[in-house]
Amino acid sequence: MDVRQFFEGKGARLYMRRIKVGRFLLTVAASLTLLTQTVSAAATPMLNKYVNWNYGTEDEKGFNGYIPALDKQVINNPWQLDQWAGLFAFPDGQTRIVQNYDVFNVKKTSADTNFSKENGFGLVYKSQDALEDLFDAVWSGQPIATNQRQYFKKKFSLNADDPVFKTGHEYYYMIKDRFDFLRTAGIVQRMGIKFNQSQKVGSSYRALYTVSAWPQMKVTNGSTLSISYNGYGYSERDIRLVAVKKGAFPDLSQAVSLTGGKFIHIETDKETATGTVKINAKQIASVLGKDVDIIMDDGYGRTVIQSVTLSVDQPMDYVPTKLTMTDEGQMWVEFRYDGEDIISSDHVYKNGIPNTLSVKIGGAITTEFNTGSRYTQLPQTLTKGATFNAYLGKLDVGKNPGKYYIKATAVINNPSHQERALEFPTTAYNNNSIKGEWMIEVKGPENDLIAQSITISPNSLKTGQAGTITAKVKNVGKQSVPNVRIRFYANEKQINETKRTLPANTSVTVGNFLWKGTEGIHSIRVVVDPLKESPDKDRGNNVATTGCRVDTPNKGGIIMNVTTAMSTVSGMSRII
């Protein structure tokens, strides 16, 4: 079938229905006539620089992937590299012919002697560079601004690294067990292009594609910014609408979302997506200033940019209203948002609002310190008059008895912090602090732990003989004290330890263990609460001491069993 027959036959009617523009068909017809004259010319495959194959290369094995015409996955199938032409029809009536359109012909069955060209389909090497080559081949000559072209090109090339393209995916192929490819008809969908059909023209073949329209956007300026958009395509996609400082594109790192941080999701059955988004212009100006660019990304990387000068300011203010300290020492501040309704993520860093707490403590001890915290519980939409409670930290004055005077200053949205939330006007930062004062009293323990006595029986020993050590301790107070540690020492060496619960006002016998000493006179001690772990209002009576003499079997001596509880009173010692 020649070109004229094609346009007069059934194929022409199908193609006309798809393009729907009479004048456009005439341009395509002219392009196809030129194609029949040039497609047979020698060309280098697009994949040549990646795998070093030429048209006509074939192998009886090594092709792995999905064959659309056969509707099945194949493994180690025969293949042949063939030259087709790709014809991309643009909505303005222009066409772009890619003469080195790489097609892999396959055999219908392993028993076939010839490759089936009508079952062939295009593949592109799976790498960012190869996808950039394909992009340039399709979009060359189109009037696209340089920065928008590069943004579109980069976004498309990154599809090479999409983890979805792996073994089992219908667009993924591996050839000769080491070369990765993607089906061209599948991957160009991510440029807003769809494959229509393949046709034979003379002895050559072509693949016909339709390119969807470039997106459109209209911005109506005012106190409420209105953005009307039209997006076009043939696959599932996410439209993004943002504002950036004028001239910042393609850097979108500081973009303000115009859709609450969400994408406008378009399903595959919607070739045209139309809508309007409205947003308070003050919200944008408060973050980016008055001169901004409104940008639409149609989900493929095709962008529309419109510059707008905003002329409004939006009040935003965070005001602390109450500073409290709980009985447990927790510090909390209540604060209120005063201003117009905003999307908080557009004006507050993701780490939250930075707050500080400065504290001075006087009295039984004197100290001061500063601490910082972040409040991260703001809602997505921040409304005027909304109140919040932020935890600032916890105070602990210790266990030393006495009265403590506490002065604290809390600062909401610290104006000196580099990641402070935006407030407007500048004077709004002047009311961010609040002060509070408290007095607390730490009462001393009411219990007194006493070491009453210690004995060793007998108190005169022969070498190798053991004596029994026993002590009496007491808790003078109104309440029992649990797990009181009690230690015994011979001279300076610890020889025993126990823990006992001491009931109120009751003597308790502890110890009753055997001890052997070396020759000489020994000091035997019992110490109640040696590590100061239990409440005790007088630690001067926590030790009781006795003595013991150890002789060789041929020596003798007498030592008095004197038990002392040492208590210092006015610099003097007394016996209890």
Dig out the tokens for 477 from the structure.
């107070």
* CA pair distance 371, 357, nearest whole angstrom: 5
Residue with tokens 């110890």, as numbered in its chain: 511
pLDDT of 9 reads 38
> Are the beta carbons of 227 and 241 closer than 8 angstroms?
yes
Burial class (CB in 10 A: 0-12, 13-18, 19+), 329: middle
Question: The tokens of 267 are what?
Answer: 């399903």
pLDDT of residue 448: 94
Angstrom distance (rounded) from CA 280 to CA 484: 68
Cis peptide bond upstream of 45, omega within 30: no
Q: What is the pLDDT of residue 554?
A: 73
Residue 224, classed as helix, strand or coil, is strand
Say how far residue 461 (Cα) sits from the centre of its chain: 73
Rounded (5°) CA angle 249-255-260? 140
Q: In the prediction, which pLDDT does 311 show?
A: 62
Contact 24, 93 (CB under 8 A): yes
C-beta of residue 115 within 8 angstroms of C-beta of residue 105: yes
pLDDT computed for residue 124 by the predictor: 98
Report helix, strand or coil for 440: strand
Per-residue pLDDT of the chain (576 residues; tens, 9 = 90+): 333 333 333 333 433 344 343 443 444 444 444 443 333 344 899 999 999 999 999 998 999 999 998 899 999 999 999 999 999 999 999 999 999 999 999 887 767 888 888 788 999 999 999 999 999 999 999 999 999 999 999 999 999 999 999 999 999 999 999 999 999 999 999 999 999 999 888 888 999 999 999 999 999 887 788 899 999 999 999 999 999 999 999 999 999 999 999 999 999 888 999 999 999 888 898 889 889 999 999 999 999 999 998 866 678 899 999 999 998 899 999 999 998 787 888 789 999 999 999 999 998 788 999 999 999 999 988 899 999 999 999 998 887 888 899 999 999 999 999 999 989 888 999 999 999 999 998 887 889 999 999 999 998 999 999 999 999 999 999 899 999 999 999 999 999 999 999 999 999 999 999 999 999 999 999 999 999 999 898 999 999 999 999 998 875 444 444 444 443 333 333 333
pLDDT for 313 equals 65
Asked if the peptide bond before residue 425 counts as cis, ω within 30 degrees of 0, the response is yes
Q: What does the angle CA 200 – CA 205 – CA 209 come to, to the nearest 5 degrees? A: 100
- Sequence-separated (6 or more) residues with CB below 8 Å from residue 58: 78, 79, 80, 81, 115
